[in-house]
Structure 1
């Protein structure tokens, strides 16, 4: 009896550790860096995002995948609701062309060729130089709070795939919100 209880306890402990490891290795934003350059605020972010199973198979058959980054930056106010300073989105489209056997990834009208799905996803996984605000619109030496996430945007899929996405957990790929804080400081001019 003691052996059975001990083995059950060991199984539950191992399952709990495995579940914790899966949560730590899942989709998440690893790092966010607000950067000021040329009078603009840019966001650089690195994330872990795995496209597997049914989603990868659909992409390899030419179904375009749309990934959207959502960014919110607020200024805290003690006397009223928080002031939303930035509320931006950026969407990437990843599609495979079976005729040319080439992956293409891009935002808006610009798309770049890539050799594999993982190479195409590297642009989504490593966001660089996303201009989100003018520095002149932000207060200096004020603490801003931001949050960012990246998700598979199923609303941009063709209708039959939207139904599949609604019924399948494979199509619900998203990172949790990642919070960050920053402030913009001005260097005093030297005389």
Structure 2
């Protein structure tokens, strides 16, 4: 008798927590991004192909007489790789965006025993500086654009051709909402989770 098991429904990528603080040292963003790692992505990792996740944040100041003014932007690249010899997972975090020709100048390198441990670090953004304090006027209105995605352009060329347009490789979310700043000591979320939307919708 052949048993057919239903496929597990993958959880859509979503931002379940998002907080922005403004202090003397700058504007810092904290977030929790929830997603399930697709089996095809995990299989590629186990075959030695690293994955790159990109975070981007942009702040715009309201202008009633013209288009909103872009006042600050920040980007971060996270590399996830499996090391077969040690059977451990390595996470590298670097400021800015990278290209295939540029090396990853990581500011944080850490090894983990399991994939869930490594993913937990990737999914949690802790007090990431996205702007100088002087760039955001607390008396003016601002908008925040925050995005998180798996960067398929960093895959080897044969993989890029094979995964183009395949939903199994899609890990992406984007949040666009009013920027509600919290004092540096506050812990309340700055944006509700309901404001997060999947990229492409």
TM range (shorter): 0.7 to 0.9
Q: Is it true that 1:105 corresponds to 2:91 in the alignment?
A: yes
Shift of 1:180: 4.3
Counterpart in 1 of 2:150?
152
Against the structure 1 CA distance between its residues 178 and 138, is the aligned structure 2 distance closer, same or farther, given a 3 Å change threshold? closer
Counterpart in 2 of 1:123?
121
Map 1:72-83 onto structure 2 (within 5 A): 72-83=58-69
Secondary structure at 1:151's aligned position in 2?
A: strand
Given the two structures, how large is their TM-score scaled by the length of structure 1?
0.78
Q: Is it true that 1:32 corresponds to 2:18 in the alignment?
A: yes
Against the structure 1 CA distance between its residues 176 and 139, is the aligned structure 2 distance closer, same or farther, given a 3 Å change threshold? closer
CA distance in 2, matches of 1:36, 1:115: 35
Asked which structure has the greater RCO (Cα within 8 Å, sep 6+), the reply is: 2
Shift of 1:169: 2.0
Shift of 1:184: 7.1
Shift of 1:178: 4.7
Deviations 1:133-182 (A, max 9, x none): 11022213222110212110011122112112215221122124353422
CA distance in 1, matches of 2:145, 2:134: 21
Secondary structure at 2:53's aligned position in 1?
A: strand
Map 1:127-146 onto structure 2 (within 5 A): 127-146=125-144
Shift of 1:116: 1.5
Deviations 1:83-129 (A, max 9, x none): 11222221100000101111000213231001122211112211002
Q: Does the Cα contact within 8 Å between 1:27 and 1:48 map onto a contact in 2?
A: yes
Q: Does the Cα contact within 8 Å between 1:29 and 1:149 map onto a contact in 2?
A: no
Secondary structure at 1:177's aligned position in 2?
A: strand
Counterpart in 2 of 1:170?
168
Q: Does the Cα contact within 8 Å between 2:74 and 2:131 map onto a contact in 1?
A: no
Structure 2: runs of 5+ lacking an equivalent: 1-8, 95-105, 184-201
Against the structure 1 CA distance between its residues 184 and 35, is the aligned structure 2 distance closer, same or farther, given a 3 Å change threshold? closer
Secondary structure at 1:182's aligned position in 2?
A: coil
Instruction: Quote the RMSD (CA, aligned, Å).
Output: 2.0
User: How many residues of Structure 1 are paired with residues of Structure 2 in the alignment?
Assistant: 163
Shift of 1:65: 0.6
